[in-house]
Amino acid sequence: MNIAMIGLGKMGGNMARRLSRGGATVFGFDVSADTRSQLAQEEANFTAFASVPELIAALPTPRVVWLMLPSGAISEAAFDEMKTLLAPGDLIIDGANAMYKDSQRHGAELAAMNIKFVDAGVSGGVWGLQNGYCLMFGGEKDAAAMAEPFMKILAPGADRGWTHTGPAGSGHYTKMLHNGIEYGMMQAFAEGFAMLKAKEEFDLDIAAISETWRHSSVVRSWLLDLIADTLQQDTELADLNAFVPDSGEGRWSVLESVELGIPAPVMSSALYARFASRGNDDYAMKLLSMMRNAFGGHAVSKK
């Protein structure tokens, strides 16, 4: 039960903690010396290393290395380094929010070197340490079997919250669509609560309503729990900017719907709403106002 965790940020750090507390021996590296030092002080079954080569040299074989890094250039660099350090029979688990086509490519490249590969979609956020993580992972059966003991520690229970989804790429494909669905659910909640708040004639207590909906309602969910907890403290949210980033998986879900010819209007609309939150529709809105004025003489609002 030895595993390396490379990348000890908000997700990777807590995953390393849960693995350590669940009986695994964790070898950890992060570019931040403070981060890896803090974990080493907290967890008895965690050992920090100052470099990746030093970590790999100390890790018993066959090695299991979990990469918990940002997708894109940083992950690609890590894969390139792993190819020079690992040996046949070792396993790489990629827990990044990676594009599934990249995971298919990584799986093929590593298979040619007889290095096993698993792509793991991870959900649970900052609450995963306490509640466990939802894990969906792809890879060949022997690779999945090698990863399974660690999945059982990370999941809410050994018998739930994790599944081997299929070949390499299927884990990140499943997580991509999980996040696409999440975009739609979040947008629906946001729009509904905005309408509740705007109905001034009723003077609705939206904190009380959110709490009521948590119990036996068909829309009860963890997202609603988070909304209710927030609104109990602050219903105005005046300190927040109306700016919503996207991590990439919502975009990929929409692009996949086009490739498959499967209508996905909810996911698409939710993604476009995030774009709009950044002012990316300002010029379009100005043009719309100009057109209404031009054809109908409607008033134009100016700064």
pLDDT tens digits, one per residue of 241-284 = 888 988 889 999 999 999 999 999 999 999 999 999 998 888 88
Tell me: the pLDDT tens digits for 182-197?
999 999 999 999 999 9
Is residue 175 annotated as a catalytic residue, yes or no? yes
Is residue 286 annotated as a catalytic residue, yes or no? no
Contacts of 289 (CB under 8 A, 6+ apart): 298, 300, 301
Closest CA to 63 of 108, 93, 98: 93
Residue 303 has pLDDT above 80, yes or no: no
pLDDT at 284: 86
- Is residue 179 within 8 A of residue 247, CB to CB? The reply is yes
Tell me: the pLDDT tens digits for 41-83?
999 999 999 999 999 999 999 999 999 999 999 999 999 999 9
Give 290's pLDDT tier (boundaries 50, 70, 90).
confident
Of the listed 76, 81, 140, 182, which one is catalytic?
A: 182
What is the side-by-side strand order in the sheet with 25-29? 46-48, 25-29, 2-6, 64-67, 91-94, 116-123, 134-138, 162-166
Give percent above pLDDT 70 in the chain. 100
Q: How far apart are CA 198 and CA 71, in angstroms?
A: 39
Residue with tokens 């030093």: 54
* Main-chain phi, psi angles of 57, to 5 degrees: -65, -30
DSSP codes joined into one string, 65-112: EEE---TTHHHHHHHHHHHHH--TT-EEEE-S---HHHHHHHHHHHHT
Q: What is the pTM of this model?
A: 0.93
pLDDT at 269: 96
Contacts of 63 (CB under 8 A, 6+ apart): 2, 4, 56, 86, 87, 90, 91
Grouping H, G, I as helix, E, B as strand and the rest as coil, residue 234 is coil
Of the listed 43, 116, 175, 249, which one is catalytic?
A: 175
